Structure 1
Amino acid sequence: MRFRQVHLDFHTSEAIDRIGSQFDKEQFQEMLKRGHVDSITVFSKCHHGWAYHPSEANRIHPGLSFDLLGSMIESAHEIGVKTPVYLSAGLDERLAVLHPEWWIRPRYGSSEDLFRPGYHQLCLNTPYLDILLSQIAEVVQNYDADGIFLDIVGVRECYCASCVSDALAEGRDPRNIQSMQPLWEQTYANYTRRVKETVDSYKQGLPIFHNGGHIRRGRRDLTHMNTHLELESLPTGGWGYDHFPLSARYVQPLGMPYLGMTGKFHTTWGEFGGYKHPNALRYETALSLAHGAACSIGDQLHPFGRMDEATYRLIGTAYAEVRAKEEWCSNAVHVADVALLSVEAAGGHTADGGHDSFTGQSDAGAARMLIEGKILFDVVDLDSDFNAYRVLILPDRIRITEALHEKITAYLSQGGQLLATGESGLHADKDGFALDLGVRHTGVNPYRPDYYRPLQPLASLGEAAFVFYAEGQRIELTETGTTLGRREDPFFNRDSFAFCSHQHTPDSGNDGGPGMVESANGIYIAWNIFEDYATKGSLALKETVLFALSRLLPQPTLRTSLQAQGSVTLQKQAAESRYVQHTLYASPVKRGDGIEVIEDILPIYQISMELRIPEKVHQVYLAPQRIPLDFEQQGEHVVYTIPELECHQMVVLEYEENN
């Protein structure tokens, strides 16, 4: 997979004329060179439904008089740049106007507004699918495409006439969403299968990716309908800076080639004249490299077809650095101590493409804590090998089914340790804990918020009763548990007839039972603590979890003095007999209405690192600078200092192969 890709949007209204009139081969090539681009996704069909080439399967844009797609492919290939081809699959406004009966229909009412500009998504369980397949076949047959990128697709809830008719024919009750779900799954699976058959009939093995804006954790069946993965994750476009690391830590262990896709825009797709600070792109592309991913940056071509020079100066700033780093980033495997079992993967929340469901609060809060705490972790699903990790985290809402109980029991028998919080560990279908966590369940805590008093001082905050806002579980200690901290009740819950001060009621000092308990199997914390951190961000929450992990993981693979806003990953390139340790530092700030931006990146100095690895290290150096670093190794412990970090720094540890 190429490391320096551009995704060149070209969604262009039929109300605009002179399409591609300023396209110039030399200027196009010059911009790709200026941007250090080695692959660019170019358009066959946009959301408006128009083709950007002569077409029998579609209609060429009425304002276009030549083969723009063919010209772009030829121009890019002349300078060694690959050209995957984009077709809008879920959206085709030209056909949507002609065939409103093909629209995806919601169960209740309609959000359609004749006076609201926007697209209408089409159902792939209608005759539209055959038209789309003919458009794909035309591209693969007539053009030297280096891949096919299909957009705005996924398992979609739909009550169009075709879906309802098929449901009734199959004996399904359209009024029952559980009865309809298999039909929607079947529709998507049929679409991806037929796309692959169509592509392979002309060009066997051509890369295919179906984009839905989010890779659903726990749905490996959907993931493997692609040949590779592209993690669309524009921080300013609704995804935020939490989404990519969480998604990447799930995707990399799956072993598929993948890239991280951000955008050059200040906000999101379709923003003409919007540019983020060069430091933001430097950081976002470095974040991809640190997670074992290639890079893609989204751009949007002006209707006249001239590449924007400011955009490729901006992209070039980031990609010049990526180009220098690539050799230390390919074919890498992430090293992790901890497995975070995703709530999404376990069925605790769904993500169907809406931005508010990309992360899930428990998953996002847990990932954020682990990154800030410099814990090396992967995000896992129910099919993952838990035995590859020393600690398994069950965040907030992991109810235990019979199959999961069997898997966790086997993991514990091999010496694994659990960190469970909130509802996690409870039976999925009855009362009580399914796992021996040293506690007995007595019900949902009636107070919210309430207080946690640790028996040992927190690292930064010392001794106090700390307010925890999230829902908690009431527990009692069993003979196998040891209390590490207790719950203290407020005087009462705040309501219309009994309230105190501006927010919640103060701590009464009454003992509400254990709050954190240790047992032979691990540690249980009685609140949805990760969800709480995602919404409130309290330091006490993080330090409570990190204290627990310090007991479960007394000898982590990595220790560092890096501050909270920095992040660290450790990748292993076994074929080259080396580890590559990535360190990043930037502080996103809020601008405008909730947009996170990175502008200033300040250097930090003298960052101590200690790695615990089994191999004998013979050389440590900064990359790509190739500057040697002094280091010490005693047994498995390797210690060195990064003299300066500005945005992103790699440290390479080359080791001797064991005979």
Structure 2
Amino acid sequence: LKEQIEACHARGIRVPIYTTVQWDHFTARQHPEWICTDELGRIVGTPPFEAGFYREMNVNSPYVEEFLKPHVREIMATLPTDGIFFDIVRVIPSTDPYTQDRMRAAGLDPANQDHRARFALDSLNAFKRDMSAFVWSIDPEVSVFFNAGHVGTRHRAVIDAYSHWELETLPSGGWGYLHFPVSARYARTLGIDVLGMTGKFHTSWGDFHSFKNLAALQFEVFQMLAMNAKCMVGDQLPPRGRIEPHVYDLIGKVYAEVEQKEPWCHGARPLCDIAVYTPEEFTIPGASHNLPDAIKGATRMLEEGAHQFDIVDSASDLTPYRVVILPDAIPVDAMLAAKLDAYLAQGGKLIATFESGLNPDKTGFALDGLGVAIAGEGPRDAAGNLARGCVYPQANYVEYILPDAAIGHGLPPTEHAMYIRGMDVTARPGSEVLADIVPSYFDRTWEHFCSHRHTPSAGQPGNPAIVRSGNAIYFSSPIFTTYQKVAPLWCKRLLLNALDLLLPEPLVRHSGPSTIRATINEQPAQQRQVVHLLHYIPERRGEFFDVIEDVIPLYNVAVSVRVPGSVTSVATVPQGAPLPFEMHNGRIEFVVPVIHGHQMIEVIRD
């Protein structure tokens, strides 16, 4: 390792040192009493006679003081250390004696599952702060990162233990192509550097002698640039310790393009109209990088509509945003209600869907500004569970939306199936109903059913489906979860129409297909905006994950950008080809001759 570090340093390359925390095969064999245990007392992780090293070490055991800290001290004493990358640092509830003792000392009940989950998070955060302080006491200049495969809302509370964020996101390794934009759009709001991390593998870590398709690596890296992240491509050395030249030829092709694009990325910050709250904040923390369907569906819809947005939590400042979206499952307590009420009072716009806006007990809406009230809890299924929000394979509890002309622009004036049952609401006086719910003849049960799936519309409008109250629009259906599950175009069209009503002049519009990913950044020092247009299409060619093989160019794409003040020039970059442009009502309009995978356009302001 020392030779590798010296070789990199001779070429001006930083070399943070990797070490694992909760996966430690050597220590697990030496000290099995330091392994986490589940509610039945079994070790958490790889069984004894199964290949693998995935036994979860317990940070509440003597492992940290007796092994991990001496190990880190030795690394920093014997090797030139630019940083420490601690891998596998996750929320793992445990029932082992060390954890039980600490829980009792904290006044918690080790037999209570919720207490164990809360303590697992709190003790992990305490471990991070303690370990960072230990590392920085040795060398305050090194970088420190604790990796769990995801950076999300639970990281805000412990940001002081990190020097930066690293977003491990291998689309073919279980993360998928949605994980990076969701994670990056949140992480970039927290005020420290963001580094994107993909891999060179066709699948995931440990996939030796494989190669990611060039187009896929281009997209994954260029998307990092578009979303204000630095770039990293992961690899693993085989035991002989020699890099595979063909792998670095592949990475080099992409990094050569990055080098050309970098001047338009240094110091860039995103421009955003919209803040989207993530339901992740209100779920039990864990190690998984599986995200709530609602935030994935929201990200899909907004990206496909070319809208510019951040993902936020209840601690975020809403002042910079013109519209706030609460997707499907955002409970609103008194503090958040006051914040959102103040935002609306200051002229902000709000979209809420399904159970978003309800108080934490779900007994009523905490936001009067939504202009709706609960009409009833809705039907229950044969097991006694509320049907609303549940996914049934045959859409047993379907209902239909009949939109008016404004919210239904671009849709036929008829019923549209909402496959997941929504809320039963009434409109408060003064609210405007933009769409009605049309019930089916009956819900599908063993006693009465129709054809293969859900029952048709009964044709008579019922409760409101979409309600506008001043600057707020409420959807009774979980449109974001529905879009993530089955992607009805009409769900996206309704959402984009609602945004047209509340945000008639978005930052970016384009004439291209919904497969374009458009972002806009600002470089204040250069007095310019930089538009990124990406066009790569992931396909499920194999059963297990999406791949990108081909770059499909687009030609003559018209782009319109909202700009403050006047503009002196527009050009493609890094090519430097000037583009003719026109100014109309605070917008600059131009045509991009070709998008071959990734095209940046600089807009120079006066």
Q: Could you say which TM-score interval applies, normalised by the shorter chain?
A: over 0.9
Which digits, 9 at most, give the CA deviation of each residue in 1:544-595, with x for residues without a partner? 1111111011111211112111111110111221111111011100032231
Using the alignment, how far apart are the partners of 2:223 and 2:207 within structure 1? Answer: 23
Which digits, 9 at most, give the CA deviation of each residue in 1:356-379, with x for residues without a partner? x2x210011011100001111111
Which digits, 9 at most, give the CA deviation of each residue in 1:419-464, with x for residues without a partner? 0100111222352222222222112343721111111274554222
Matched ranges for 1:198-217 at <5 A: 198-217=134-153
Question: 2:390 matched to which residue of 1?
Answer: none
> Which moves more between the two structures, 218-227 or 70-79?
218-227
Using the alignment, how far apart are the partners of 1:438 and 1:192 within structure 2? Answer: 44
SS at match of 1:442: strand
Q: Which of 566, 569, 574 is the equivalent residue of 2:524?
A: 574
Question: 2:302 matched to which residue of 1?
Answer: 370
What amino acid maps onto 1:602 in structure 2?
Answer: I
Is 2:374 aligned against 1:441?
A: yes
Q: Which of 264, 274, 286 is the equivalent residue of 2:222?
A: 286
Residues 442 and 475, structure 1, Cα contact 8 Å, conserved in 2: yes
Q: Which of 422, 428, 431 is the equivalent residue of 2:354?
A: 422
> Unpaired runs of 5+ in structure 2?
380-386, 388-396
Tell me the CA shift for residue 495 of structure 1. Answer: 1.7
What amino acid maps onto 2:68 in structure 1?
Answer: L
* 1:92–1:194 distance in 2 versus 1, CA, 3 Å: same
SS at match of 2:373: strand
Residues 471 and 502, structure 2, Cα contact 8 Å, conserved in 1: no
Matched ranges for 1:187-336 at <5 A: 187-217=123-153, 219-336=155-272
What amino acid maps onto 2:84 in structure 1?
Answer: I
Using the alignment, how far apart are the partners of 2:489 and 2:159 within structure 1? Answer: 36
Question: 1:113 matched to which residue of 2?
Answer: 47
Using the alignment, how far apart are the partners of 2:361 and 2:447 within structure 1? Answer: 36
Question: 1:46 matched to which residue of 2?
Answer: none
Matched ranges for 1:543-562 at <5 A: 543-562=493-512
Q: Which of 139, 157, 160 is the equivalent residue of 2:93?
A: 157
Residues 101 and 161, structure 1, Cα contact 8 Å, conserved in 2: no
Question: 2:116 matched to which residue of 1?
Answer: 180
Using the alignment, how far apart are the partners of 1:524 and 1:122 within structure 2? Answer: 46
Question: 2:539 matched to which residue of 1?
Answer: 589
SS at match of 1:272: coil
Q: Which of 377, 402, 405 is the equivalent residue of 1:453?
A: 402
Using the alignment, how far apart are the partners of 2:92 and 2:142 within structure 1? Answer: 26
Tell me the CA shift for residue 113 of structure 1. Answer: 2.7
Question: 2:15 matched to which residue of 1?
Answer: 83
* 1:547–1:187 distance in 2 versus 1, CA, 3 Å: same
Using the alignment, how far apart are the partners of 1:558 and 1:477 within structure 2? Answer: 33
What amino acid maps onto 2:590 in structure 1?
Answer: Y
Q: Which of 450, 453, 463 is the equivalent residue of 2:413?
A: 463
Using the alignment, how far apart are the partners of 1:166 and 1:289 within structure 2? Answer: 44
Question: 1:353 matched to which residue of 2?
Answer: 287
Question: 2:391 matched to which residue of 1?
Answer: none
Residues 387 and 414, structure 1, Cα contact 8 Å, conserved in 2: no
Is 2:449 aligned against 1:515?
A: no
What amino acid maps onto 2:298 in structure 1?
Answer: A
What amino acid maps onto 2:377 in structure 1?
Answer: V
Question: 1:57 matched to which residue of 2?
Answer: none
Which digits, 9 at most, give the CA deviation of each residue in 1:82-137, with x for residues without a partner? 11111111111011011111111122464653222122110111111121111111
Matched ranges for 1:394-413 at <5 A: 394-413=326-345
TM-score normalised over the length of structure 2? 0.93
What amino acid maps onto 1:142 in structure 2?
Answer: T
Tell me the CA shift for residue 272 of structure 1. Answer: 1.1
TM-score normalised over the length of structure 1? 0.86
Residues 339 and 386, structure 1, Cα contact 8 Å, conserved in 2: yes
What amino acid maps onto 2:234 in structure 1?
Answer: G
SS at match of 2:235: strand
Using the alignment, how far apart are the partners of 2:502 and 2:179 within structure 1? Answer: 27
Calculate percent identity across the aligned residue pairs. Answer: 38
Using the alignment, how far apart are the partners of 1:636 and 1:141 within structure 2? Answer: 59
Is 2:410 aligned against 1:490?
A: no
SS at match of 1:606: strand
What amino acid maps onto 1:299 in structure 2?
Answer: D
> Which moves more between the two structures, 610-619 or 445-454?
445-454
Using the alignment, how far apart are the partners of 1:459 and 1:646 within structure 2? Answer: 32
Question: 2:562 matched to which residue of 1?
Answer: 612
Question: 1:93 matched to which residue of 2?
Answer: 25
* 1:350–1:374 distance in 2 versus 1, CA, 3 Å: farther
* 1:430–1:501 distance in 2 versus 1, CA, 3 Å: closer
> Which moves more between the two structures, 361-370 or 551-560?
551-560
What amino acid maps onto 2:401 in structure 1?
Answer: Y
What amino acid maps onto 1:480 in structure 2?
Answer: G
Residues 216 and 351, structure 1, Cα contact 8 Å, conserved in 2: no
Question: 1:124 matched to which residue of 2?
Answer: 59
> Unpaired runs of 5+ in structure 1?
1-68
Q: Which of 427, 441, 456 is the equivalent residue of 1:477?
A: 427
Tell me the CA shift for residue 234 of structure 1. Answer: 0.6
Tell me the CA shift for residue 209 of structure 1. Answer: 0.4
Residues 485 and 514, structure 1, Cα contact 8 Å, conserved in 2: yes
Using the alignment, how far apart are the partners of 2:41 and 2:305 within structure 1? Answer: 46
Computed over aligned residues only, the root mean square deviation of the Cα atoms, in angstroms, reads: 1.6
Question: 2:393 matched to which residue of 1?
Answer: none
Using the alignment, how far apart are the partners of 1:283 and 1:458 within structure 2? Answer: 34
Using the alignment, how far apart are the partners of 2:29 and 2:326 within structure 1? Answer: 48
Tell me the CA shift for residue 268 of structure 1. Answer: 1.0
Using the alignment, how far apart are the partners of 2:377 and 2:85 within structure 1? Answer: 47
Using the alignment, how far apart are the partners of 1:538 and 1:223 within structure 2? Answer: 38
Q: Which of 591, 595, 602 is the equivalent residue of 1:641?
A: 591
> Which moves more between the two structures, 218-227 or 108-117?
108-117
